[in-house]
Structure 1
């Protein structure tokens, strides 16, 4: 099988995109869809084995990808990685700023090191990647950047460090859209809600039942798929979004729209879209 994208097969033919956090989850899925649409994809991650594995998958499926090890929190590493990608692929058309991470803890349980580590990963790293993509390539040719944030409207109890960083990333998106627009660079964000992705398996055992119940708190009564996030990212990178910049698209089934105070009846007609032929259900959501 191959990726069953809703977009035409040659949408990104000959273009080059960086996907950070491309070794798993939403990043892996997005990289596959971009490659299936004709793009050359540069996978960036901290662990060589993960990005190399996805590179092998894409190559097996007939796509073109390269793997790059980089800690996006380190400025010199980011500069060197972006430079190497441009040299290898002959240019750059866009960036998917997907890398991120956090741990569950109340605010009183987060020390300074933990706070700063999450902020550096989810905010500083995204800024560094975007700045280098812009200064080294996109400022000259134009292009698009999509920053992946999170549903932090109304706060993120239990993950306040991530919520603060993601809110900062939305504001950075808005600022960059203004400052870089004259260069033909569009900057947008997507905010995934509860998505059935491999990252769910990284949380501790005591959160298992809570994770499995998340879909009940969504108006359409299910979690989203990685493909549903990837398709939105691909749209924002595409010519169809040529007049969209500085926006943040929430991909959460309406969960962030005040549903907490409205009774949610049993849903119908809510079938998911899953075009990713290599998608794997997170272990935490699998039947025991």
Structure 2
């Protein structure tokens, strides 16, 4: 299995990149692409089976990859991850904070446990990875970080927990871009829309009609691909983006410009109309 990248083959030759959630989906595509461009890719996630599979694929294709099991919500595990990567590789040139997760639910039925799990994985996990990467290596050596968002610009009904967390990541990205510019660290983000990825397989069958409707509502009339997200991430890591920091690239086929994400049932519960002239009108009529 060889990955065909749009970028030149030796773009990241001799460099090391860390990709969280690198065993499946978009993270797997990013890992394959970086390795195809000469990088040694370190894959991190909670499930070792997927990490081993992807690392093996990369090595069989002639690339270089290793893996570390890590739960990014756990501060001690994140610290140990960077300890190992720097001990084995000696440097870290870039970090892709791809790991995350969510589930479909109306806001009123999200439990506190479920809320905390999603927010801690997406927002807190991203913060921990960024902070340790900076403190352990990038403050002294520079580097590039790419964070993962979703298409949440007008809210995301059905995923209030993830939308809130990702909005926090977007602001965190801008904040870190300013604070860490002094160290030559660039921090950007990508915001995929509806992507044909293995992550879709986790959603229940009842969600399928909504996904199909969302595809019809995307101006380009199709889902995106994992490779299209990966290419944007690789661009942000590359020297071509040397003057880009604090930005969020939307990869959504125009979906954020116009898309229905939540069907509102017919109802008669709208608040009563308000007119500032109502009393004045009554006085005139009388």
| TM-score normalized with structure 1 length | 0.89
- Count residues in correspondence: 260
Q: Aligned residue for 2:162?
A: 162
For 1:258 and 1:102, locate their aligned partners in 2 and report how far apart those are by CA, in whole Å. Answer: 23
Q: Aligned residue for 1:178?
A: 178
For 2:210 and 2:152, locate their aligned partners in 1 and report how far apart those are by CA, in whole Å. Answer: 18
Instruction: Please say if 1:80 is aligned against 2:80.
Output: yes
Q: Aligned residue for 1:30?
A: 30
Q: Aligned residue for 1:103?
A: 103
For 1:209 and 1:257, locate their aligned partners in 2 and report how far apart those are by CA, in whole Å. Answer: 21
Moved more, 213-222 or 39-48: 213-222
**SS at 1:95 equivalent:** strand
Q: CA offsets per residue over residues 187-207 of structure 1, 9 Å max, x none?
A: 000000000000000011111
- Partners of 1:192 and 1:251 within 8 A in 2: yes
Instruction: Please say if 1:258 is aligned against 2:258.
Output: yes
Q: CA offsets per residue over residues 175-195 of structure 1, 9 Å max, x none?
A: 000110110000000000000
Q: Aligned residue for 1:21?
A: 21
For 2:214 and 2:254, locate their aligned partners in 1 and report how far apart those are by CA, in whole Å. Answer: 13
For 2:107 and 2:2, locate their aligned partners in 1 and report how far apart those are by CA, in whole Å. Answer: 44
| TM-score normalized with structure 2 length | 0.89
Q: Aligned residue for 1:231?
A: 231
Q: Structure 1: give runs of 5+ residues left out of the alignment.
A: 261-288
Q: Which has the higher contact order (CA 8 A, sep 6+)?
A: 1
Q: CA offsets per residue over residues 29-72 of structure 1, 9 Å max, x none?
A: 00000000000000000011011110000000000001110000
For 1:164 and 1:208, locate their aligned partners in 2 and report how far apart those are by CA, in whole Å. Answer: 23
- 1:211-230 mapped onto 2 (5 Å cutoff): 211-230=211-230
- Partners of 1:143 and 1:184 within 8 A in 2: yes
- 1:1-288 mapped onto 2 (5 Å cutoff): 2-258=2-258
For 1:212 and 1:113, locate their aligned partners in 2 and report how far apart those are by CA, in whole Å. Answer: 30
Q: Which protein is bigger by CA-based radius of gyration?
A: 2
Q: CA RMSD in A?
A: 0.9
Quote how far apart the aligned CAs of 1:214 are: 2.8
For 2:201 and 2:257, locate their aligned partners in 1 and report how far apart those are by CA, in whole Å. Answer: 27
For 1:38 and 1:169, locate their aligned partners in 2 and report how far apart those are by CA, in whole Å. Answer: 29
- Stretches of 4+ aligned residues off by more than 6 angstroms: none
Quote how far apart the aligned CAs of 1:136 are: 0.7
For 1:258 and 1:224, locate their aligned partners in 2 and report how far apart those are by CA, in whole Å. Answer: 16
- Partners of 1:138 and 1:185 within 8 A in 2: yes
Q: CA offsets per residue over residues 216-262 of structure 1, 9 Å max, x none?
A: 111011100000000000000000000000010100011101355xx
**SS at 1:161 equivalent:** helix
Quote how far apart the aligned CAs of 1:3 are: 1.1
For 1:250 and 1:95, locate their aligned partners in 2 and report how far apart those are by CA, in whole Å. Answer: 19
For 2:201 and 2:213, locate their aligned partners in 1 and report how far apart those are by CA, in whole Å. Answer: 15
**SS at 1:182 equivalent:** helix
Q: Structure 2: give runs of 5+ residues left out of the alignment.
A: 261-286
**SS at 1:189 equivalent:** strand
**SS at 1:146 equivalent:** strand
